[in-house]
């Protein structure tokens, strides 16, 4: 899938720029978003390919435009824009406005792909493993959370830069055609849904210490429920909460309501 025919010098440039995309969001502001972060990341390309000061200033100006994407997907876009800067420097007939439109056309899809992949699915997968370990008091929870998230993110960042510089937008076309993008999205969603299910069985709890006599045996409502279908109550609670959230109910009101009911329940002893 990944073809790379970069020479040593280009590899160095790509690595340098990709490393700089890490801090893409660090100077974020509401007017231009990650514009300065993007410029910071693409500076190595500009300064390498454009030798005269006027050309560099022109390039700084066109690269400092409103920009916002998932930073992890940044290297692919800086790589693509970097290879276009190279063409702009080498080919006098090349229209540099293409760079701006290419950047603008990539940042949206990359943000939606990246947010889904990293903020939605990968974060949930790493958090599930982490939270369940941490609830047992283990420091491994924090470590697993960091590791599971960062290993795939680092790979995407590293290869994104290389692919962007060597293939540019052609890669997106190729990936879309072969269905790889759709498959990655689907695979990530499957993993995240599996982990959401695990989380539902592990972190949601509601104990009703109500006891009664059942065929001559004293039993609790909770005990009876657990015998029939362990975790049925948590599962129903998650599905109920999901229905509320989907309806667009403001969650902080739900949070307050939960707190109020729990406190009242604990005071009168029907919840524990």
Stretch binding another protein (CB under 8 A), from 92-100, 102-110, 137-145, 163-171: 137-145
Q: Contact at 8 Å (CB) between 43 and 64?
A: no
Applying CB under 8 A, does 31 fall inside the site for another protein? Answer: yes
Q: Which residues between 76 and 115 bind another protein (CB under 8 A)?
A: none
Q: Contact at 8 Å (CB) between 111 and 69?
A: yes
Q: Which two tokens stand for residue 60?
A: 């700084």
Applying CB under 8 A, does 209 fall inside the site for another protein? Answer: no
Q: Which of 98, 135, 155, 224 binds another protein (CB under 8 A)?
A: 135
CB of 59 to another protein, least distance (A): 10
Count of alpha carbons within 13 angstroms of residue 208, beta-carbon side:
13
Q: Which of 111, 124, 175, 181 binds another protein (CB under 8 A)?
A: 124
Stretch binding another protein (CB under 8 A), from 9-17, 102-110, 135-143, 158-166: 135-143
Q: Which residues between 151 and 180 bind another protein (CB under 8 A)?
A: 153, 157, 179
Q: Which two tokens stand for residue 188?
A: 């990530």
Rounded CA separation 130/142 (Å): 6
CB of 39 to another protein, least distance (A): 6
Q: Which is nearer to another protein, 4 or 138 (CB)?
A: 138
Stretch binding another protein (CB under 8 A), from 37-45, 87-95, 101-109, 211-219: 37-45
Q: Which two tokens stand for residue 106?
A: 């990539």
Count of C-beta atoms within a 10 Å radius of residue 236: 14
Rounded CA separation 49/22 (Å): 22
Facing residues of 29 across strands? Answer: 33
DSSP 218: E
Rounded CA separation 81/99 (Å): 6
Applying CB under 8 A, does 74 fall inside the site for another protein? Answer: yes
Applying CB under 8 A, does 223 fall inside the site for another protein? Answer: no
| Count, residues near another protein per rule CB under 8 A | 107
Applying CB under 8 A, does 231 fall inside the site for another protein? Answer: yes
């Amino acid at each position: 899938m990944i073809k790379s025919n970069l020479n040593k010098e280009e590899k160095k440039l790509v690595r340098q720029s990709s490393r700089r995309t890490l801090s893409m969001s660090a100077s974020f502001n509401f007017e231009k978003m990650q514009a300065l972060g993007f410029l910071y990341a693409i500076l190595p390309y500009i300064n390498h390919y454009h030798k005269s000061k006027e050309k560099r200033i022109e390039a700084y100006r066109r690269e400092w435009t409103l920009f916002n994407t998932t930073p992890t997907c940044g290297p692919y876009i800086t790589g693509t824009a970097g290879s276009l800067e190279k063409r702009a420097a080498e080919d006098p007939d090349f229209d540099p406005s293409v760079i701006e439109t290419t950047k603008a056309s990539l940042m949206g899809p990359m943000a939606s792909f990246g947010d889904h992949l990293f903020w939605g699915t990968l974060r949930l997968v790493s958090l599930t493993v982490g939270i369940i370990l941490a609830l047992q008091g283990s420091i491994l929870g924090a470590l697993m959370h960091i590791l599971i998230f960062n290993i795939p993110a680092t790979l995407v960042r590293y290869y994104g830069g290389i692919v962007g510089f060597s293939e540019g937008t052609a890669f997106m076309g190729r990936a879309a055609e072969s269905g790889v993008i759709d498959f990655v999205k689907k695979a990530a969603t499957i993993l995240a849904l599996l982990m959401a299910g695990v989380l539902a069985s592990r972190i949601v709890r509601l104990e009703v210490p109500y006891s009664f006599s059942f065929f001559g045996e004293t039993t609790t409502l909770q005990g009876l429920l657990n015998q029939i279908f362990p975790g049925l109550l948590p599962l129903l609670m998650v599905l109920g909460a999901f229905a509320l959230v989907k309806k667009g109910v403001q969650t902080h009101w739900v949070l307050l309501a939960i707190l109020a009911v729990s406190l009242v329940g604990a005071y009168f002893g029907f919840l524990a």
